[in-house]
Structure 1
Amino acid sequence: MHRLLKRQLRRYFPDGLPESEELAAFVNSVNDSYNNFSCDEAILGHSLDISSQELNERNDTLNSLLDALPDTCIWVDEFEVIRDIRLGQQLDGLFSAADKFKCIDDIALLKGQHSFRSYLLSCRKNNRPERHECQLTLGNEQIFIETRFSPLKNMQVLVVFRDITMRKVVERLKNAALEESQRSGKQLQELINGAPIGIMLIDNTFNVIMVNSYASAHLGMATNELLGQRCDAFIEPAFRKQYLSAIGQCFSCNDSACESRFDVSMCSPRNAPFAAELACSTFNHGGRLVLTQAFTDISARKQMEKELRRLAQTDPLTGVANRRFFITRGQAAFDSSKQSGHSLSLLAMDLDHFKSINDSYGHAIGDEVLKCFCRTLETVVGKDALIGRFGGEEFTLLLPDIDKTGAESIAAKVLDGVTQQRIETAKGNLGFTTSIGIASLNEADSHLESLLNLADARLYRAKHGGRNCYCSGD
């Protein structure tokens, strides 16, 4: 009998329990509750330990990615204090490590920059990203900065500073070309060849009439091969409709200046496709409207953004979906199945005696068991199925277009596949099992949570039924 229950019984029945079947049943029920509470408390404590370790590992990874960014960024809290500074290579000298934990009003660079504070407040108020440009004095030089404000939790804001001085220089050069409309084609060619970005001039029939050296080298084609080509020939098919619409709108502005900026995937017959940021604008050259198309290769940035999204959506140990991403995707699949009338099932799974595995073999072996379990699930249901880790040894599997009978068949395959797995340890080969609860769409209301709760309840029935089995009914 649980020690806390014994203490309470001695307090109220010092001479021993009276003879009563009802009282005995009540005492047994309370004793079971105490024991379950102790077990749940131990499981919760272990889960918190694992969650803390995973959080630290994820923070380390995110910090490494932020340190690799070429741009400078600062983290401003709700009191306008800089909590963190990441110094990028492109803006060396904009801030220093000594500026950390200072109020933005105490930073010499930002003093008198009232627009900066107003952008900061606007970002907080509207809770949406903002992008602005400003001119600052760094040393004896005037530089142009693009500032991107991104709202975070608790009224904090991440501000990223990007040096766009070169872009402004190019724009000034283009304006100079506008004012000197009599400048010869040779002079214009020399002008754009000096730009550190790709530039293509396009006429109103969408043909390339001039390119700079950077564009020629990046597309892997000689200048004479590029001239006369349709401009959309260098845009991946998936982006051509958006691209042609954008430049068509620029030309429709006629004599008035028109600008457009967007991301596409560029290509050429000789070089592999690459992600590019396009900036298009029109000007009058030699009495005709011409479009300037400037591009920069942003493949590295896109790859970093993809990696950040992956980290935000997956469990770092097993590579399956984390709880937040699983619920987001799962609710969408749930709503779609409800609307279309298609089947959908969900499996809640928990590794049996996982605490004993960690205690006996260590957490490193426990991690190998978790990864082995996920690979087994992928083998049974395929990598396209949505597998989620909800914490510790708890996993969930979403099965669109699968009814309860099909889900039971998959659960049986999972049980069989798991029992065949072995992990090599210093103490010999280690086997493990799992328990499964099954719930189907027709048993739930309008929310994924009801399906999760039902599957979870049946999981615990499977646990109490002897483990290494599944439960699909009450």
Structure 2
Amino acid sequence: MVLWLLHLIRQLDGSRAALARLDTLDAATGVAKRPHFLSCAEREWSRARRYGTGAALLVAEVDQVARLIEGRGLVAAETVLRALALDTEQTLRGGDLIARFGDTQLAVWLVHADPTGALDVAERIRERAEQMEIPCGAHPLRITVSVGVGALRPAHQNLSALVDDTEAALLAAQQAGGNCVRSAPVDPQRRRRADAPPP
């Protein structure tokens, strides 16, 4: 009877752990979901601010994804993001975090990172994405990504401010034509010129 109860308790613990993983992990990519990532990043942000250890947020987005979906379908887009997530995860250190941040976006939290180190990681992600051949049906897929980089600064009074800066940097990379890395803060004049209609 005791052994049977222990067996049931182990099964229940295993089921709880599986449910917890389902709640925190994105099924398509196998990396964290955005809410779980932001919860963990909030703790890391507080720790970095308290101890002055430095940290950075990267947001990478697949370029021209609308064309990809139109030509190869949603399954192809999911396949691309899963391959990008797996490849990116392999290059990160143990304490770094990765998540699906949007439909076609990945976010990476770099612990103990300075601005130069963060740019190096972002450039490595961009280069590796450009070199990938992703199996999908009869023809492999080739992609490029744009990456926004936000290194933690005193001006970032909360995590949301860092996220906003990083997303502005991502937008600047996309407006520059994609397949590139841009770092926050983005020059407001440059952003206005990029948003302005062509003459």
The interval holding the TM-score normalised by the smaller chain is 0.7 to 0.9
Matched, 1:367 2:78: yes
Distance 1:446 1:379, change over 3 A: same
> Quick one: which of 129, 151, 155 aligns to 1:418?
129
Matched, 1:296 2:6: yes
SS at match of 1:342: coil
* Partner residue, 1:344: 55
How far apart in 2 are the matches of 1:443 and 1:394?
Answer: 26
* Partner residue, 2:30: 319
How far apart in 1 are the matches of 2:123 and 2:136?
Answer: 27
* Partner residue, 1:400: 111
How far apart in 1 are the matches of 2:19 and 2:136?
Answer: 34
> Quick one: which of 101, 113, 123 aligns to 1:390?
101
Larger-Rg structure? 1
Matched, 1:437 2:148: yes
Return the TM-score normalized by structure 1: 0.37
Q: Which amino acid aligns with 1:435?
A: S
Two-structure CA RMSD over aligned residues (Å): 1.7
Q: 2:95, 2:111 within 8 Å by CA — same for their partners in 1?
A: no
Matched, 1:466 2:180: no
* Partner residue, 1:254: none
How many residue pairs align between the two structures?
184
How far apart in 2 are the matches of 1:384 and 1:333?
Answer: 10
Structure 2 gap ranges (5+)? 187-199
Q: 1:443, 1:451 within 8 Å by CA — same for their partners in 2?
A: no
* Partner residue, 1:237: none
How far apart in 1 are the matches of 2:154 and 2:140?
Answer: 40
Q: CA offsets per residue over residues 410-436 of structure 1, 9 Å max, x none?
A: 111111111111123445232001101
How far apart in 2 are the matches of 1:411 and 1:334?
Answer: 19
* Partner residue, 1:329: 40
Query: Greater strand percent: which structure?
Result: 1
Q: CA offsets per residue over residues 368-411 of structure 1, 9 Å max, x none?
A: 10110001111221465211112200221100100110000111
Structure 1 gap ranges (5+)? 1-195, 198-213, 219-294
Of structures 1 and 2, the one scoring higher in RCO (CA 8 A, sep 6+) is 2
* Partner residue, 2:192: none
Equivalent pairs: percent with the same residue?
26
Q: CA offsets per residue over residues 178-236 of structure 1, 9 Å max, x none?
A: xxxxxxxxxxxxxxxxxx22xxxxxxxxxxxxxxxx5xxx8xxxxxxxxxxxxxxxxxx
